[in-house]
Every structure is written in structure tokens, then in C-alpha cells.
Amino acid sequence: MAGILTSEYLGLGETDADARWIGIRRHQAVLIVAGVGIAGDGVIAQHHTLLEVALGVAVVIGAAPMIDGLTVSLFVVVCCRFMWRRRWNTIECFDDGTSMEIHARGVAHVMGFELNHRGRLDLSGSDVEMSDRLAALVVGLSARGSSSHVSLHVRSGEHQASTMLALERHVSHQEGWTQNRSMLEAFIGANADGQASGFLERWTYIRQASGLARVLRVIDFNAASSSLAIFERVQMNGRRPAIALHIDVLAGTKAQRVASRAVHRLGSDGAVATAAGFRRTAKADRALHRLAQREDVIVSGQALLRIGAFIVVRATSVGELRRAVKDVIQSCEESGLRVERGIGVQALWYCFQLPGGPGW
């Protein structure tokens, strides 16, 4: 699962999901080099053919960027997968006594805890204390021998918001949270009786018995204000979207390996690009500096996190959903957040945003 490597000291930035070389993604570099090679061979070969030249040009075109972070080649892949997809998807939930077992493009075992809302927490300072306790939980989970998954879910209603913390089984709950299985079932969208809850996938949304839903994914936090909560504007939006924040906590030894490899990769790519005559950009230097900082804080005992943020917009008709998504995206942009619209991957993203993140 793509994510963001971050720490509380460095803050959130742009996604690290796509490795880049000389400023472009790896598959773009491969396509450009391969396409130029094929077309060049077709031109200079003794018995050159227009077919070979056309093939080379087509391969280079495959590296061209499109909307929603896709290139032409990735868009073709998404279209092919969408054509051969399972149109009807199911979510099953089972109560195993201590936790819920969720089956949706993957399996997750989670416990759900409801936040005990007591008015405006920020007036008493309780929100700061609760955030500190959650941060301590994450740091503690990083000391385990295996990776752990934590997710926070917020759903706004007309008069109040419901906040749920989903933890893996055998993880102790936090003060201020009460285990609530019925709320967990509501966020999953299925009862814990083994009966499957189904939904139909379309190109830009999913259709459920209760209506339509579209999942957006936040991929860039660079322009987010440091003086406001990241999702404050989104939560205040009149469309009342649901927010799911997923955190994969890497084990300490694995975190150090991941961070050191990231620094080595970016540093060696920069050296190769410089040797090839390309000028290093300020963005590349900042990225290398951030990775080096991350490696330092991880060695000092801090947690390395992979973070995924999803926003679920619901409506009762296609037209209403389109308008609601437009309003929510505008709120994201006003907050300094950049989102992907999930064209052709709505079923996958809907399963990703469920408690526990089945399929991560």
C-alpha cells in the first residue's frame, strides 16, 4: 500500500509512493528510454521499418502525464483492469469474540473504540492530552517485532460527529475511548452475522443499497496550514464527508532498513543524474534532506509511519454526488490538500478505507 514516510518532527508532505529519477517516476523513465531506443533503432537500422518507429513513439507517449496522477500507460492499465473487474463486491464481518474479522479484498481483525465526546475538547485541553496518548501508542507499537495497523474514522451527522479508533486485537485501548461493536459495524457497513453486504462498482463511484459513495485519497499535505487541523475545513463542509486516517506502524528494525534504503536510493539517483549532466533541483535536495532527517529520528527511537488518508463522499443520485465531490475537493484545496479522485479503483479504495484497512 502506498503511503507517506513521516514523523511528528518532520510533518506531512507529498506522498513517497512513486520513486522518482531525474524528476520523473521510474516507469516513465523506463518507457522513455525504451521508446527512444526502439524508435532510434528503427531509424538508423539498415532495414528500418515505420512500424518500429511508430512502436517507439507509442511507448514514449505512454509516459505522458494525464489527470489524477496517471500517465497514459497507467491509464490504459486501469482501463483494462476495470473491464475485467468483479463488478459486484462483498464485505463480510464476523465476531470472533474479542474482535471483528472483516473480509473485503483482504482480511483484517479489528476492535472498535468510540471517542467519549464531552463538548468542545479543545476548550479544556483534553484533545492535546488525547493526541499525546495516541502518539505514545504509535511509538509503543513500533517496538513490536511486526508491523501494526491503526485507523481513525470520523463521520459527521447533522448534530454531532462520531469518532472511532480501530485497533488490532490484543492492543490495549486508550483512556477516553469505549469499545463499541455496533459503531464498528456501522462504519464497516455490515453486520457481524456473516451475511455479506454487497456493492456495485462504477467508473467513479460505488452503488450500495443506501445510496452512492465516492472515495477520494489525499496525496499531498505540503500546503496544509500548520495553525489549523488538517481536515478542519473538510469536516465543516456541508456535504458531511466521512474521513478515514490509516496508519501503518513499521517495526523498529524494518523502519531503519526502509529509511536507510530510501536515503541511499535518492542519493545514488542524484549522483547518477548529476554525472549524466542533469542539474539537481531544489526539490530533489529538499527530498534528500527530509529523508536524511527521517533516518536520524528513526535511529533515535521514533516511529516510522505509512499514512493513508481517505475521504468518503455520499449522495443519493449521480448528479448530487458529482456536486458534493466538487464541493469537498474545493474544501480540500482551500486547506492545502491535494487529492486523487480514484478513477477506476473505487472498489479497491472503499475496501482500503474500512476499519483495519483490509487489503493494505
CATH at 345:
3.40.462
Identify the helix (H) or strand (E) that includes residue 339.
strand 338-340
**279 vs 334, higher pLDDT:** 334
Would 206 be classed as within a structural domain?
Answer: yes
Residue 61 structural domain: 20-84
Verify that 78 and 46 share a domain, yes or no.
Answer: yes
Number of C-alpha atoms within 13 angstroms, CB side, residue 259? Answer: 28
User: 147 in a domain, yes or no?
Assistant: yes
Residue 319 has pLDDT above 60, yes or no: yes
Final residue before a domain boundary, out of 68, 84, 100: 84
* Same-domain status, 71 and 108: no
- Which range among 81-90, 141-150, 159-168, 274-283 shows the weakest confidence by mean pLDDT? 274-283
Domain count along the chain: 2
Residues 133 and 41 occupy one common structural domain:
no
Tens-digit pLDDT profile for residues 167-225:
887 777 777 788 888 888 888 888 877 778 889 999 999 999 889 999 999 888 777 76
Query: 163 near 152, Cβ under 8 Å?
Result: yes
Give the CB-side neighbour count of residue 269, counting CA atoms within 13 A. 20
Of the chain, the percentage scoring pLDDT greater than 70 comes to 70
Residues 98 and 111 sit within 8 Å (Cβ to Cβ):
yes
**Residue where a domain terminates, one of 30, 57, 84:** 84
Same domain, 73 and 105: no
Let me know if residue 145 belongs to a domain. Answer: yes
Among residues 343, 348, 90, 341, the alpha carbon closest in space to that of 209 is found at: 90
pLDDT, one tens digit per residue, over 184-196 is 888 888 887 777 8
Q: What is residue 338's predicted lDDT score, i.e. its pLDDT?
A: 87
Look at residues 65, 84, 103 and tell me which one is the last residue of a structural domain: 84
By the 8 A CB rule, do 78 and 67 touch? Answer: no
